[in-house]
Chain A
Amino acid sequence: DTAVSQTPKYLVTQMGNDKSIKCEQNLGHDTMYWYKQDSKKFLKIMFSYNNKELIINETVPNRFSPKSPDKAHLNLHINSLELGDSAVYFCASAPRAGVNTEAFFGQGTRLTVV
């Protein structure tokens, strides 16, 4: 059973489109994240949710909107896609808020904007 699963795995879309990436974890964790890994492989946090509540919102354009319908799901919606949004987006989960020394990552969604 996949602990943290993301869909889709690959996404190719045109500039200006709106797209969503879905994430689900079956670990019973309270905390979920979205990370972006750019072409230089630099992994950077975008958002963090704890029990459906947003607790970290890094400097991310407001075209990116996370939504957590319940603590097992964290989706990422992106409006008006730009070329610079091309990257691999990772969802992750961790047992609880507070000290986060262990995060479980999904396989990633490779987004290509053309």
Chain B
Amino acid sequence: QKEVEQDPGPLSVPEGAIVSLNCTYSNSAFQYFMWYRQYSRKGPELLMYTYSSGNKEDGRFTAQVDKSSKYISLFIRDSQPSDSATYLCAMTRGYQKVTFGIGTKLQVIP
């Protein structure tokens, strides 16, 4: 079993939809949780990070962590075609090594 599981998709949604992206993990020692966005042929860029359980909101993006279920989510409201990208979850115990999910490819259709 991989430490971090993420559905690779692809996920296609119409413009304006609410998108829900999810990851599960097996290592209960993970404390910091991140979401990266990667456009085609580009490097990943950090969208958000959260520490421990709870919600964090930034504009149209909301990150949610449920440590009891070992489940994290990223919600995108009012999705735009420019949101079309691969979204990678990532997590760390707080030391150097960050473990990434495989990424979910999202396509927002105008």
Contacts and interface: CB of A to CB of B under 8 A. Distances in A.
Interface residues of B, number: 22
A101 B49 contact: yes
A48 B86 CA distance: 24
Nearest to A48: B96
A9 B100 CA distance: 23
Interface string A75-114: 0000000000000001010000111111111111010000
Given A48-B96, A56-B97, A102-B49, A41 B86 contact: yes
Contacts of B17: none
Contact of B43 (A48, A101, A105): A105
Given A99-B32, A105-B43, A107-B42, A56 B49 contact: no
Given A40-B102, A41-B103, A42-B102, A107 B8 contact: no
Given A40-B102, A98-B95, A106 B86 contact: no
Nearest to A9: B41
Given A41-B103, A43-B100, A99 B41 contact: no
Interface string B75-109: 00000000000101000101111101011000000
Contact of B96 (A40, A56, A90): A56
Interface residues of A, number: 28
A25 interface: no
Given A90-B43, A107-B43, A99 B92 contact: yes
Contact of A108 (B43, B96, B98, B100): B43
B45 A101 contact: no
A15 interface: no
A41 B42 CA distance: 12
Interface of B: 8, 32, 34, 41-46, 49, 51, 86, 88, 92, 94-98, 100, 102-103
8 nearest A-B residue pairs (beta carbon)? A105-B43, A43-B100, A101-B49, A99-B94, A48-B96, A101-B32, A105-B44, A56-B96
